[in-house]
Chains A and B, each alone.
Chain A
Amino acid sequence: MAPHDLRRPFKRPAISDQQRRRELSLQRQSQNRRDAQQQARCLASSVLSLQSQYPDPVPELEIEPESQPQQEAGPLTKDLDIRQASKLRGPEVRKWFASQLMLPEWMIDVPDRLSHDWYVFARPAGKRCMVVSSNGTTVSRERNGSILHHFPSALPSGARTKDPSGSAQSYCILDCIFHELDQTYYVIDMVCWRGYSLYDCTAEFRFFWLNSKLAETGACDAPSHYHKFRFSTVPVYDCDQRGLYSAYIESVPYAKDGLLFYNKHAHYQTGNTPLALVWKDEKCSQYVIDTDSKGQVLSQQQIIGAKPELRQLVVLELQEDGKLSTSDDPPVIFGCLDGEFIQKSGLQSGSLLKFAIGNGGLSFVDGKLEKSDLNYLGKSNRARMFADSYSKTDFGFMSPAEMLRESICPCELYVSICLDKVIFQYMVRHTPLKFDDLLASVSPSDDEENKPCDVEMVD
């Protein structure tokens, strides 16, 4: 027995922090492991820390010199992961958020098994935005990444209250449409809830989770001091005849802007996806056809000899070889400019150019664009665009009318440069897909066909 071996450290604590360094290393490593696994499970919470600490320097866009090469504006690709995104600052944050929403394609034809595999709901008119609650505050960001509201909410970690459940991990991300009239956020999808990612969950599960979780937080209650805006879910129907009819006809507390169709099995995929579709007609949307600032329809009929801004417009990117492409991936080539013209106009590759679809229109063979008749209108007005907050292919329509419209339905604005929007707008002007066609496609007789389900899950 050697008691003094035990006792000695009293007067002479050897300040050995080697063990401490080991332990701190182990702590760091197991924390990193937890984070990595957690991140595999869900979004890293760190991304959320960037929302409040860097208040948006309101439009710094104008000061961006136009000559700055666009490439510099973004090492940002759609592959950028959350970990990297969490390191972004200021304008880059906006850029990142701008690419995080799932964007429906325009419904050009009716998908198979619509009544089995799809949901339908009436899309609220308003600003599409991503609402993030964390660390005691809530921020909504518009489609382009800029902040719409910064407010306290009853969402988990959405306000600085003594809510015991509000741990740092407990952030939420909701896909919403802000409806000006009743100042309500209509939640159309749930991306993250209490720190857990629903990205890889089916729409079926996400909607189930949304409907069971949102109300219990009190987020659907009337506004109060710690809850500035009301949140609300929207009625979602199975896309059978009854559901489709309900979504189309039944009154809702909000102004409708078309119908949204979500494939039940689809995961939340950022960017455009054919597993979410939007459809409109005059009855369920006031915005069915692109209008100008006075609400005048830009129609084919008026194109002949009409003022340029009344024609269907399309913004295309000039490629190095003179080709004009959309922002689709892979890009769809709409046409080609000859080298001489490019030189004369002083255009550079990567420039965004505005065109009107001419009398020749668009013609398709086997669903592929074969020919388009484009009239060059000029360069897009970059000073009025979020030049530094979009990667170069992400520019939208740039007619003045569109700029006004942007604040009303930014979603369509964004989609507009994609092929399906161009085609939808073209079809609306020529052979619109009517509600009756939709109804017919989900008629019971169609149900009996029992087409095999071959919807591939999207990752």
Chain B
Amino acid sequence: MAVSGALSRRTHVRRKAPRTFLRRLFRRQKPRLRLETGGDLLVHLNCLLFVHRLAEESRMNAFENKDGIIKKEHVQAAAKVILKKSRG
């Protein structure tokens, strides 16, 4: 599938959704429940958005600490916020 062309070869961003992986996750977590066909794509979308927000937040944390590298602490702090937001 498509690979974002602006990036170098190393940093591949695959546009495919790991559908089977998601379905297996869901089945492991909730064996009683079933997921519909379009559902896992939406789950993938949700994950993408979550990760996106998480990355933004951690990046901002790193900037605030004037760090050129994202550190574990940044990520942790960001995760707290974003997970709270994504509670639903």
Partners in one complex: no
Query: Which residues of chain B have a CB within 8 Å of any CB of chain A?
Result: none
